[in-house]
Amino acid sequence: MPRFYNPAAMNAPFNPYTHGIEVQRDERLVFFSGQVGADASGAIKPDFEGQIRQIYANIEIILADADMALSDLAKLTTYLVSRDDLDDMRRLRAEILGDHKPGHTLLLISGLAYPEFRIEVEGFAAKA
């Protein structure tokens, strides 16, 4: 299990994430490509909440295939195409991940691979 660092000499994280993550040499790492709000049939969820819930369901499926869980997430990068979705993204991520706060980078960008995509999340998990 990764070790998480929020040093007292720094500001507290602005949102539910951790400043630093240590992964031990004997831990397995699973990196996952950017996930979007498409289900197993390829259907893209039409609304933002549906997309983010599908993204985390997809991540959970990938991790389960590697005998891991969302609680093993070490680092995420989120790409958003609209600042208007920022509060919902933070609320839903906190709801889905609960007390688990992996490292996180958030980028506001002009677009993703398909215009229907409003959010994409990539990252990695670690487990002994």
Digitized pLDDT (tens) for each residue of the chain, 128 residues in all: 788 898 999 898 888 888 998 998 999 999 999 999 999 999 999 999 999 999 999 999 999 999 999 999 999 999 999 999 999 999 999 999 999 999 999 999 999 999 999 999 999 999 99
| H or E element at residue 59 | helix 48-65
Question: Is residue 11 included in any domain, yes or no?
Answer: no
Q: Give the domain CATH number at 59.
A: 3.30.1330.40
Structural domain count, the chain:
1
Question: Is residue 17 included in any domain, yes or no?
Answer: no
Q: How far apart are the C-alpha atoms of 10 and 25, rounded to whole Å?
A: 26
Is residue 92 within 8 A of residue 55, CB to CB? The reply is no
DSSP 3-state of 83? helix
Burial class (CB within 10 angstroms; exposed 0-12, middle 13-18, buried 19+) of 107: exposed
Range of the domain at 70: 27-127
Q: How far apart are the C-alpha atoms of 89 and 83, rounded to whole Å?
A: 10
Question: Is residue 53 included in any domain, yes or no?
Answer: yes
Question: Is residue 2 included in any domain, yes or no?
Answer: no
